[in-house]
Amino acid sequence: MSPLRARRRGSRANRVSVSRGRTIRRAAIALLLSLAACEARVEEDAEIAPAPGPSETPEVTSACVPVIFEDTAFTHCTANPAEHAIRMVESTADGVPYRNFAAYAGSRGANAPPVAFAMNGGMFGEDGHAIGYYVEEGARLKSLNRSDGPGNFHMLPNGVFFGDASEGWRVWDTDRFYENVTSRPDFGTQSGPMLVIAGELHPDISPEGDSLRIRNGVGIDPAGRAHFVISDEPVSFGRIARYYRDVVGTPNALFLDGSVSQLWDPATGRMDYRADMGPMIVVEMRENGE
């Protein structure tokens, strides 16, 4: 082979080697750039990935339902002993009456059981204190009132709503309570008049009187559940009494108040305020069935 031809062949080999080297370097650079881009996308995705949200809070179902009876709107709330506990509340630790749900709600501790609902709970004086039998957390703060007098409270027979862990919740007329209750209940409140007594309407309640007020009451059914009913419009004694007798079927039912009747239902956001009140009946959720 001539020297000239050998030089040409060597030149071509060098060019091929250089070309292959450049191709390899370009491929390596492209690979590095691709890896860098992937890392950037991973970091970007990590930055914008949403943080895990809190677990959903179980929806709270109201224990209260709207009803219509004889063309009148009522709200009917039911307390079940298996799910609820009942307590009376009137005043702060210093003896100052709360007078409204907002003041009481603001005083409840963070670890207090959830409130299912609450209503005004019995007759009271101008100072906000109960005028009849009243027991709170097992302590009797007012003795049984068996005297005569004016007003709804003294429309005899009046009665007592009370309860304890051993005997459950009850509504009895005042004379029956006086003659039969020998131990102090966990809670109790006296009001009047009775709306239903042993399945019959109070003898002095007219079927449809002229006095129309926002009214509420309480009665216990044969299964031991407490039924709290408040009218959402002015109603007569006779109509709310018939609702207890004919619809709820409670053997006894007690009138709690009129005009100042109010309901607090946290599940629906309802918190009434019509006027300052006295004792409150607070129905709390039992935790773990305790």
Per-domain residue ranges of the chain: 1-55, 64-285
d(CA 103, CA 47): 45
Residue 287's pLDDT is what? 77
pLDDT of residue 55: 42
- pLDDT value at position 288? 60
Copy the structure tokens of residue 198. 């042993």
Q: What is the pLDDT of residue 128?
A: 97
Beta-ladder partners of 287: none
What pLDDT is attached to residue 208?
87
**pLDDT, block means (10 residues), the chain with 290 residues:** 44 44 49 45 42 50 97 98 98 97 97 97 96 97 95 96 95 98 97 98 93 97 98 98 98 96 98 97 82
pTM of the model: 0.80
Pull the structure tokens for residue 218.
Answer: 């309480």
